[in-house]
Structure 1
Amino acid sequence: MKVVTFGELMVRLQPYNYERFVQADHLEFSFGGGEANVAVSLANYGADAVFVTKLPAHAIGQAAVNSLRRYGVDTSKIVRGGSRVGIYYNEKGASQRGSVCIYDRAHSAIQESQPSDFDWDSIFEGVNWFHFTGITPALGPNLVEACEEACKAAKARGVKISCDLNYRGKLWTREQAREAMTRLCQYVDVCISNEEDAKDVFGIEAEATDIYAGELNHEGYKSVAKQLADKFGFEKVAITLRESHSAFDNGWSAMLYDVASGEYCFSKKYNLHIIDRVGGGDSFGGGLIYALLSGKSTQEAVEFAVAASALKHSIEGDYNMVTLPEVEKLAGGDGSGRIQR
């Protein structure tokens, strides 16, 4: 299986431990970004994962490329140019204090890229699947156009397309998101959303659900999935379900709706004690893509994706550094966390 993902790879700067920005005097340095995180997950499962972006030719840009090569991601389609790598600052939450993310992405290489930078016909040669998120078109009208050109080229080659709605209010307004994502979602086969994105982007809301009180209504989510599928003609809709009890403790599960069979499959729920939640949704997306390309059933696919994501919450950094056997073991019911000898 060969999968292409497209988006921004950023420098991640974070205070050590659980310090606040205002008290930190040194920061941890790593890399991350929604679609790059998905590519790393897929490469770790043995898939041929290709990440597409634009990065400067200088040393920081090269370090970003190397961070992906380390895990076996194909970086040969990355365009080099521009002058800066985008940055995001992450302050990890603890107990009742939520995490904080501050973006410094303006004028990054990908944000200033042009659609003509990307040769999609060449990029999609021999590819089975294309994945992007709502974060990439949020970077500007030029990226909306680039995403649409990518989707058109993928469709012309019979490549399946998935999109994680991933609304980011710090990057664009709900109105901008709705206009762009309505345009792009007509090409999408598999839509990934969560309890907030469907409402923020398309005004579709689960009834009788309070995400802040940790209360979820399964019937409400069935309705959200069906409304999304009916609106855009999706083949499948996945919705991740996070019950936030504190910054440390979440309930984590998901639902996968298969339109052709009419199945609504809910996964088991994991009670997470979180080490790092950034990239949790991306690890779900990577797991779902792998499971669907592997021919797993609807129930098996959602169980695999949720297990992969549950494991990611135990790992520092954006990337989900887990193996296929580890995910299969957890998805199969062994969540004991016992030492492996």
Structure 2
Amino acid sequence: MVSSSNPSVVTFGETMVRLSLPGHAHPALGAPALGIGGAESNVAIAAARLGVDSTWLSVLGDDDFGDLVEREIRGQGVRVLARRDPVAPTGLLVKEFRGGWPSRVRYYRAGSAAAGMTAADVDDTAAAAIAAAGVLHLTGITPALGPGPTAAAHRAIEIARAAGVLVSVDVNYRSSLWSADRARPALLALIRRADVLFAGSDEAALILDRPEPVDDIFRAAADLAAELTRLGPGQVVLKLGRHGALARRDGAIDEVPAYPVTVVDTVGAGDAFVGAYLATLVRGQDVKACLDAGARMGALVCAAPGDWEGVLDWPGSFGPPPDPDRPDLGRAAHPHADDVRR
């Protein structure tokens, strides 16, 4: 059990404007839906939905898209600390649909304001927010953006560790941003400084440089978690898609199944899982409660379109029972096995 005198979550990383293209429509033939998306802000929004004070740190372009991102995140009850870059633009992602289902996410983040972050962007105000938090959360996406964001992430970690603040890292590997060979050493550098580590089973296998398990998922996940704890994190949480999730802490293993939902869009469900897990953790509840909160929140996101919008249904229902004629819609709480962002 972990408790904090200040049960709050601070996240650090890029959020982009999201354009969702209508299914089977060329962009010129249909108006895209406008929204926002970013792993770290998704986590902050989920934590805020559970009533935990949440802060998101980043850099945005000094443009209309930056205004949209900041306004939307603030509107979900999250404190925003984001420098506005007068030259570089806010990043963009495009979510493509086929047959009504998300099929691919394309990023337009090279040269974005957040890609130009440096350690100097973790300024005194950001440092004060980190030092006062219950947990600092980062993902492997940030170092994938370049050396400046990598330095900024490690500066944030230094401040957290000096203040005795828990450091949480989600591997969140994106093959569209970098190769496994390039990613592994940078991700290991984060993992070795983490107190809490989140990963999918495929990401755990990538870090440990071994094949992804396909049989006896929970037993294989327990073995992967044990190996990952040897790298430094005291707590390792593996998100296992439709199978559920598993956590290892102090040598003990806890598991939770996925909540059954009719799946609409899995993107962002893993972030919602993390946000709910961390919000429950900083309130001092046990690992089983953290896993259950994460699985519930992840299921809500799977059951709604968008990257984070489903968290607004907390603590609502999980929708109708799964359709027995559509087994692929049966169970999902966190999406790493099927994540279209790859």
Q: What displacement does 1:125 show?
A: 3.7
Taking the aligned partners of 1:318 and 1:149, their CA distance within structure 2 comes to 28
Q: What displacement does 1:325 show?
A: 5.9
Q: Which residue of structure 1 aligns with residue 192 of structure 2?
A: 186
Select the residue among 279, 282, 291 that pairs with 1:302: 291
Do 2:119 and 2:151's aligned partners in 1 also have CA atoms closer than 8 Å?
yes
Moved more, 102-111 or 317-326: 317-326
Do 2:272 and 2:311's aligned partners in 1 also have CA atoms closer than 8 Å?
no
Count of aligned pairs between the two proteins:
312
Q: What amino acid sits opposite 1:303 in the alignment?
A: D
Q: What amino acid sits opposite 2:274 in the alignment?
A: G
Q: Which residue of structure 1 aligns with residue 261 of structure 2?
A: 272
Do 1:124 and 1:154's aligned partners in 2 also have CA atoms closer than 8 Å?
yes
Q: What amino acid sits opposite 1:179 in the alignment?
A: P
Residue 130 to residue 24, structure 1, CA distance change in 2 (3 Å): farther
**Alignment partner of 2:224: what SS?**
helix
TM-score (ref. length: structure 2): 0.85
Taking the aligned partners of 1:117 and 1:294, their CA distance within structure 2 comes to 29
Do 1:40 and 1:320's aligned partners in 2 also have CA atoms closer than 8 Å?
no
Do 1:7 and 1:132's aligned partners in 2 also have CA atoms closer than 8 Å?
yes
Q: Which residue of structure 1 aligns with residue 91 of structure 2?
A: 86
Q: Which residue of structure 1 aligns with residue 330 of structure 2?
A: none
Alignment of 1:190-209 (within 5 A): 190-207=196-213, 209=214
Superposed CA offset, 1:196-223 (max 9, x none) = 112233314454x1xxxxx652211111
Taking the aligned partners of 2:75 and 2:13, their CA distance within structure 1 comes to 19
Q: What displacement does 1:336 show?
A: 6.6
Taking the aligned partners of 1:272 and 1:20, their CA distance within structure 2 comes to 28
Structure 1 portions without partners, runs of 5+: 210-214, 243-250
Do 1:206 and 1:221's aligned partners in 2 also have CA atoms closer than 8 Å?
no
Q: Which residue of structure 1 aligns with residue 271 of structure 2?
A: 282
Do 2:301 and 2:309's aligned partners in 1 also have CA atoms closer than 8 Å?
yes
Q: What displacement does 1:162 show?
A: 0.7
Answer 1 or 2: higher relative contact order, Cα 8 Å, separation at least 6. Answer: 2
Residue 20 to residue 138, structure 1, CA distance change in 2 (3 Å): farther
Residue 313 to residue 98, structure 1, CA distance change in 2 (3 Å): closer
**Alignment partner of 1:300: what SS?**
helix
Do 1:204 and 1:224's aligned partners in 2 also have CA atoms closer than 8 Å?
no
Q: What displacement does 1:161 show?
A: 0.8
Alignment RMSD, CA only?
A: 2.2
**Alignment partner of 1:99: what SS?**
strand
Alignment of 1:142-161 (within 5 A): 142-161=148-167
Do 1:152 and 1:187's aligned partners in 2 also have CA atoms closer than 8 Å?
no
Do 1:204 and 1:227's aligned partners in 2 also have CA atoms closer than 8 Å?
no
Q: Residue 39 in 1 paired to residue 44 in 2?
A: yes
Q: What displacement does 1:317 show?
A: 1.5
Q: What displacement does 1:295 show?
A: 1.9
TM-score (ref. length: structure 1): 0.85
Structure 2 portions without partners, runs of 5+: 1-6, 322-342
Q: Which residue of structure 1 aligns with residue 17 of structure 2?
A: 11
Taking the aligned partners of 2:204 and 2:182, their CA distance within structure 1 comes to 14
Moved more, 171-180 or 271-280: 271-280
Taking the aligned partners of 1:69 and 1:336, their CA distance within structure 2 comes to 28
Taking the aligned partners of 2:319 and 2:140, their CA distance within structure 1 comes to 35
Q: What amino acid sits opposite 2:289 in the alignment?
A: E
Do 2:141 and 2:172's aligned partners in 1 also have CA atoms closer than 8 Å?
yes
Q: Which residue of structure 1 aligns with residue 300 of structure 2?
A: 311
Q: Which residue of structure 2 aligns with residue 114 of structure 1?
A: 118
Q: What amino acid sits opposite 1:118 in the alignment?
A: V
Do 1:45 and 1:323's aligned partners in 2 also have CA atoms closer than 8 Å?
no
Q: What amino acid sits opposite 2:200 in the alignment?
A: N
Residue 223 to residue 66, structure 1, CA distance change in 2 (3 Å): same
**Alignment partner of 2:148: what SS?**
helix
Q: What displacement does 1:195 show?
A: 2.1
Do 1:198 and 1:205's aligned partners in 2 also have CA atoms closer than 8 Å?
no
Taking the aligned partners of 1:326 and 1:192, their CA distance within structure 2 comes to 23
Do 1:90 and 1:102's aligned partners in 2 also have CA atoms closer than 8 Å?
yes
Taking the aligned partners of 2:313 and 2:304, their CA distance within structure 1 comes to 15
Percent identity between matched residues is 28
Provide runs of 4+ in structure 1 moved above 6 Å.
Answer: none
Residue 226 to residue 20, structure 1, CA distance change in 2 (3 Å): farther
Do 1:239 and 1:256's aligned partners in 2 also have CA atoms closer than 8 Å?
yes
Superposed CA offset, 1:131-160 (max 9, x none) = 011111100011111111111111000010
**Alignment partner of 2:173: what SS?**
coil
Residue 205 to residue 223, structure 1, CA distance change in 2 (3 Å): farther
**Alignment partner of 1:309: what SS?**
helix
Residue 129 to residue 216, structure 1, CA distance change in 2 (3 Å): same
Q: Residue 255 in 1 paired to residue 246 in 2?
A: yes
Do 2:49 and 2:311's aligned partners in 1 also have CA atoms closer than 8 Å?
yes
**Alignment partner of 1:302: what SS?**
helix
Q: What displacement does 1:179 show?
A: 1.3
Q: Which residue of structure 1 aligns with residue 3 of structure 2?
A: none
